[in-house]
Amino acid sequence: KQEVTQIPAALSVPEGENLVLNCSFTDSAIYNLQWFRQDPGKGLTSLLLIQSSQREQTSGRLNASLDKSSGRSTLYIAASQPGDSATYLCAVGSSNTGKLIFGQGTTLQVKP
């Protein structure tokens, strides 16, 4: 049974810092991995999707990596801004039907 874990559960950093959010999964047989952002009371916004054949994806100040053999993904945020404050969710696509298995999320606070 696939399990997804995100560490840390919460993180507070000063503005301008580069930071890394971690996601680990127990079964390396995945189809893809998706990172989302959720603002309080809002829905999920897709940030990056990494297919199982890829090693990383980049979008602006965000870079996500995938290491299937070790069951890990990281989301790197460069030059953090207060507007980056949100909960970041990692989700693994473990079946060919597209079903996503989510971690609990990391709540990020970037202080001005």
Partner 1 sequence: EAGVTQFPSHSVIEKGQTVTLRCDPISGHDNLYWYRRVMGKEIKFLLHFVKESKQDESGMPNNRFLAERTGGTYSTLKVQPAELEDSGVYFCASSQQGILQETQYFGPGTRLLVL
Site string for partner 1, 47-86 (x = CB under 8 A): --x-x-----------------------------------
Which of 14/41 has CB closer to partner 1? 41
Of positions 18, 26, 46, 81, contacts partner 1 by CB under 8 A: 46
Of positions 92, 93, 106, 110, contacts partner 1 by CB under 8 A: 93
Pairing of the two strands 19-25 and 4-7: antiparallel
Interface with partner 1 includes 28 (CB under 8 A)? no
Q: DSSP assignment of the chain, as one string?
A: ---EEEE-SEEEEETT--EEEEEEES----SEEEEEEE-TTS-EEEEEEEETT-SEEEETTEEEEEETTTTEEEEEE-S--GGG-EEEEEEEE-STT--EEE---EEEEEE-
Partners of 82 in beta bridges: none
Of positions 105, 106, 108, 110, contacts partner 1 by CB under 8 A: 105
Interface with partner 1 includes 43 (CB under 8 A)? yes
Q: Which residues bind partner 1 (CB under 8 A)?
A: 4, 31-32, 34, 36, 42-46, 49, 51, 89, 91, 93, 95-105
